[in-house]
Amino acid sequence: MEFSAQAIAQFLGGTVEGNPDVKVKTVAKIEEGHPGALSFLANPKYANYIYSTLSSIVLVNNDFVAEQPISATLVRVSNAYEAFASLLQLYAQSKKQKTGIEPNSFIHSSAAIGDNLYLGAFAYISENVKIGKNVKIYPNAYIGDNVKIGDNCIIYPSVSIYEDCVIGNDCVIHAGAVVGADGFGFASGADTNYKKVPQIGNVILEDHVEIGANTTIDRATMGSTILRKGVKLDDHVHIAHNVEVGENTVMAAQSGVAGSTKIGKNCMFGGQVGISPHLKIADGVKAGAQAGIPSDIKKAGSVVLGSPASEISAQKRSMAVYKNLPEMRSRISDLEKIVEELKRKISE
DSSP string, 244-296: EE-TT-EE-TT-EE-TT-EE-TT-EE-TT-EE-TT-EE-TT-EE-TT-EE-S-
Crossing angle of helices 80-94 and 5-12, in 10° steps, is 110
How many folded domains does the chain comprise?
A: 2
pLDDT-wise least confident of 40-44, 125-129, 228-232: 40-44
Q: How confident is the model at residue 98 (pLDDT cuts 50, 70, 90)?
A: confident
pLDDT at 272 over 90: yes
| pLDDT of 171 | 98
Q: Is residue 324 in a domain?
A: no
Q: Please give the C-alpha separations between residue 108 and each of 40, 103, 133, 168, in angstroms, as whole numbers.
A: 47, 14, 17, 21
Percent of the chain whose predicted confidence (pLDDT) is above 90: 77
**Same structural domain, 106 and 131:** yes
Average the pLDDT over 9-19 and give the result.
94
pLDDT at 340 over 90: no
Average the pLDDT over 120-146 and give the result.
97
Average the pLDDT over 307-336 and give the result.
83
Domain boundary (94, 111, 137) is at 94
**Same structural domain, 188 and 115:** yes
Q: Which of 108, 208, 241, 278 is catalytic?
A: 241
pLDDT at 103 over 80: yes
Neighbours of 159 (CB within 10 A): 23
DSSP summary character for residue 63 = T
**Same structural domain, 77 and 109:** no
For the chain, give the mean pLDDT: 93
Report how far apart the first and last C-alpha atoms of the chain are (Å, whole number): 94
| pLDDT of 327 | 86
Of residues 193 and 189, more confidently modeled: 193
Q: How confident is the model at residue 328 (pLDDT cuts 50, 70, 90)?
A: confident
Distance CA 275, CA 147 (A): 29
Average the pLDDT over 267-273 and give the result.
97
Percent of the chain whose predicted confidence (pLDDT) is above 70: 99
Q: Any alpha helices (H) in the chain, and if so which ranges?
A: 5-12, 80-94, 312-322, 325-347
Q: Is residue 323 in a domain?
A: no
List beta partners, residue 188.
194
pLDDT at 195 over 90: no
Q: Please give the C-alpha separations between residue 222 and each of 186, 193, 225, 259, in angstroms, as whole numbers.
A: 14, 23, 9, 12
Please provide residue 116's backbone torsions phi and psi, each rounded to the nearest 5 degrees.
Answer: 60, 45
What's the CATH number where 294 sits? 2.160.10.10
**Same structural domain, 196 and 293:** yes
Domain boundary (63, 94, 125) is at 94
**Same structural domain, 112 and 197:** yes
* Cis status, amide bond into 157, omega within 30 of 0: no
Domain boundary (64, 94, 124) is at 94
Average the pLDDT over 69-81 and give the result.
94
In 3-state terms, what secondary structure has residue 140? coil
Which residues, including other chains, have CB under 8 Å from residue 277's CB and lie 6 or more apart? Answer: 240, 258, 259, 260, 261
Q: Is residue 104 in a domain?
A: yes
Q: How confident is the model at residue 188 (pLDDT cuts 50, 70, 90)?
A: confident
pLDDT-wise least confident of 2-6, 242-246, 300-304, 308-312: 308-312
Q: Has this prediction a pTM greater than 0.95?
A: no
Could you list the residue range(s) of the whole structural domain that residue 9 is in?
Answer: 3-94
Answer yes or no: 208 catalytic: no
- Parallel, antiparallel, or unpaired: how do β-strands 166-167 and 172-173 relate? unpaired
**Same structural domain, 188 and 302:** yes
Average the pLDDT over 267-291 and give the result.
96
Average the pLDDT over 163-180 and give the result.
98
Q: Tell which phi-psi region holds residue 82, choosing left (phi > 0), alpha (psi between -120 and 50) or beta.
A: alpha
Average the pLDDT over 232-236 and give the result.
98
**Same structural domain, 80 and 128:** no
